[in-house]
Amino acid sequence: MIALIDYGAGNLTSVRKALTALGAEFTTPRSPEELAQASGVIVPGVGNFAATAALKGRWREAIANAVAAGTPLLGICLGMQWLFEGSDEAPEVGGLGVLPGRVSRLHGNAEQRLKIPHVGWNALDAPPACGAPQTLKGRLLAGLSPQPYVYFTHSYGAPVTADCTASTTHAESFAAVVERGHVFGVQFHPEKSGDAGLQILRNFLTVCQAC
């Protein structure tokens, strides 16, 4: 059973719909204690980083415990940003801190008409350190064509670190997919990214089944 965390940041309808289409069994836990039984945890979310303050305390503790117990975790958009140490968008609210680095505002480029928020379909690139630029690595990106397009909508981005398995460029490069052990994150919305997005969610479910 996948635990889909509802902390009031945005709408879960489309994530639920995608999980249903993939045949996943999932629940939206009412109390943090329920996470102990979960085969995987998804932290979705759109909007301001300040919204993740709702995860403070018992929820945060339960998610951290699940990660420590080896339960796969997927952060989507704001949920991925929350995996890092914190964000300049709401410096007073700390992240979960399971990934090193801080989230900062994207700059765009007015001259090149690269606007912020970064809204729309953009490509996933393998980070340069991964060797051949076309080859995407990591369990979350298994079976995807080179440079697949996925749907983004955000104004802040996470740094490209050793945990980054795919980056995206919009005036600057930021982490689009992160993977560290059984902790995963995607800056885009897989539930809104057509077949490529469904494949990524399917890959996460496969990881959950294997654990």
Partner 1 sequence: MLTKRIIACMDVRDGQVVKGVQFQQLRHAGDPAELARRYNVEGIDEVVVLDITATIETRQALARTISAVAHEIFLPLTVGGGIRSEDDAAAVVDAGADKVSLNTAALRNPELITTLARRYGSQAVIVAIDAKRRDAGFAVYVRSGTSDAARDAVEWAREAESRGAGEILLTSMDRDGTRAGFDCEMTAAVSNAVNIPVIASGGAGGREHFAEVFTRGCADAALAASIFHYDDTRVSELKRYLDTQGIPVRL
Taking the complex as a whole, the smallest distance from the CB of residue 33 to partner 1 amounts, in Å, to: 27
Residue written as token pair 């440079």: 147
- Tell me whether residue 32 or residue 190 sits nearer to partner 1 (CB atom): 190
- 208 noted as active-site residue: no
Residue of 77, 89, 118, 182 marked catalytic: 77
- 191 noted as active-site residue: yes
| Cα 53 versus chain centre, distance | 17
Write out the residues near partner 1 by the rule CB under 8 A. 10-11, 13-14, 17-18, 21, 46-48, 108, 110, 113-123, 149, 151, 153-154, 169-170, 189, 191-195, 197-198
The pair of three-digit structure tokens given for residue 156, joined into one six-digit string? 């802040």
Taking the complex as a whole, the smallest distance from the CB of residue 168 to partner 1 amounts, in Å, to: 9
Residue of 118, 189, 208, 211 marked catalytic: 189
Taking the complex as a whole, the smallest distance from the CB of residue 203 to partner 1 amounts, in Å, to: 15
Taking the complex as a whole, the smallest distance from the CB of residue 162 to partner 1 amounts, in Å, to: 25
Taking the complex as a whole, the smallest distance from the CB of residue 21 to partner 1 amounts, in Å, to: 7
- Tell me whether residue 38 or residue 141 sits nearer to partner 1 (CB atom): 141
- Tell me whether residue 153 or residue 206 sits nearer to partner 1 (CB atom): 153
- Tell me whether residue 32 or residue 197 sits nearer to partner 1 (CB atom): 197
Residue of 118, 164, 191, 208 marked catalytic: 191
- Tell me whether residue 49 or residue 59 sits nearer to partner 1 (CB atom): 49
Give the per-residue SS3 of the chain.
Answer: CEEECCCCCCCCHHHHHHHHHCCCCEECCCCHHHHHHCCEEEECCCCCHHHHHHHCCHHHHHHHHHHHCCCCEEEECHHHHCCCCEECCCCCCECCCCCCCEEEECCCECCCCECCCEEEEEECECCHHHCCCCCCCCCCCCCCCCCCEEEEEECEECCCCCCEEEEEEECEEEEEEEEECCEEEECCCHHHCHHHHHHHHHHHHHHHHHC
Active site residues: 77, 189, 191
